[in-house]
Structure 1
């Protein structure tokens, strides 16, 4: 067994776009489990957009990170030492151990994984927070009805890809917005969306209008900024917006805001801003349905896997700039 625990800390608050110099990689002593605890060797780390706002010293739904603190994040790992008979060695668990190779857990802080459900990394995407976020935002808040038009921004991303497929399962016309022809092809040909519009195209708004002839009933919003405003110009009366993310603004020095307030008012649009951490009681409902769809082959997803914990800062930056493709994970070398 290795004698140390590699960790990635936030060295300083970023000024605009995150850089690798905003992180530090350190070696800490390997923690030892006390009674009721187990030591986990992390196999996969999830990198998610919500981590970027936590790096800013601003009031939010959780305390912002302070310089020198461990970067947060979901993990999948294997129990390698245990003082809890309910977590024997070899147990696979999903937890929130952050950017480190090892961590301590208790039975109350983990979700024990069933190896029969497929590759363990799925517990960080379609069968984890990513999938539950998509399910809650689309089903609970978007309330899609058969025949309606649903638009999903960041459609090739981890959450957007699942959200759009859920809307298709509910009988909707689903239009994605993504960056670049390759991602748009994936959204249509692999994920089964009806159309996908490249927001980088010079005629983006014209393409969006052509793809939404009946306007937009549900918007699953992950991007914010000018992309969201473009969709608001196509919004229907009494539409619903699930405001899940605002990734275009996370590294902006000057916030863009929302310029389409007139559309929200004139079309009486209901907008729900949500953070899935507020809805832990919803997880069993979502995971049960997501697991069934996954077993039946009705949900497809793509993983972008970086190798080794030291690659996490660069992979995080790639995700924030849209250079990745699919769910961003780090496979932790052992």
Structure 2
């Protein structure tokens, strides 16, 4: 059912996006069309990446997932940087962290927990990811904020570049650790684990590559036009740049991935759901954010890795709450509701701010 909806949205949304852009339709109408189209295209990118990951094996597959897992948000952010909307980009990064750790994990735990009394996932992966989350969000995002208070703009950019390079190198090392040197090391310790069956890809290598390429090009076109509607939509609804970035861009950029996590939790495949939520957060914090800092150097205005105080505190609280709830390797619907409540409270705060 979902596949049919995404197919209709794609084949209707892409031509409507082109026609609407050429005919200068109202910004609000275009904003809605662009958002729905990007969500549909993102689902095709996710399915194509998944097929390629199965065909190419876990090592290359892991790299593909790391590259394309947040491709939609990365593309939107690049065009926002080009337009000089640095506040929107930083806010969207904040929104991704909050969305993945609180909204996606919360919905996954809640919906899965309604069906099953207790759900379990790999506690070793959870603890490994906890350390990376603490480093990526609390260390690498807080440190620039603290030091930037006594620095001029040039030195702040230099600090951001240095931290960005370290984050990317550590993220690549984490992939190497997980997919090569310690691949499957902790699997045998999980009680009651079922034998893994070989997966069949939805599409072959050639078809998946073509779909991924076409969807990426279409997303780039739609995303560039979406960025130009932010100002008009913000004025119409009274939304600030911060709210658009934290809530709207983050949800649109990750909608298909979010849906996958919730479906996996409902099927009692909580390891996959947690990997999507936590893994995507790590991608954003350790790969997407620093990559955007480096890409911004080629534009008129460079982006420092410095967030506002509400953004920084919200991300730190989300990380600590997610770690406390997930570190025991099991969850239930009430823990999911707790994460959702935290997301709603922060959403209200960003809206009123």
Q: TM-score if structure 2 supplies the norm length?
A: 0.24
Report which structure shows greater RCO (CA 8 Å, sep ≥6): 2
Relative to its length, the structure with more strand (as a share) is: 1
Q: TM-score if structure 1 supplies the norm length?
A: 0.25
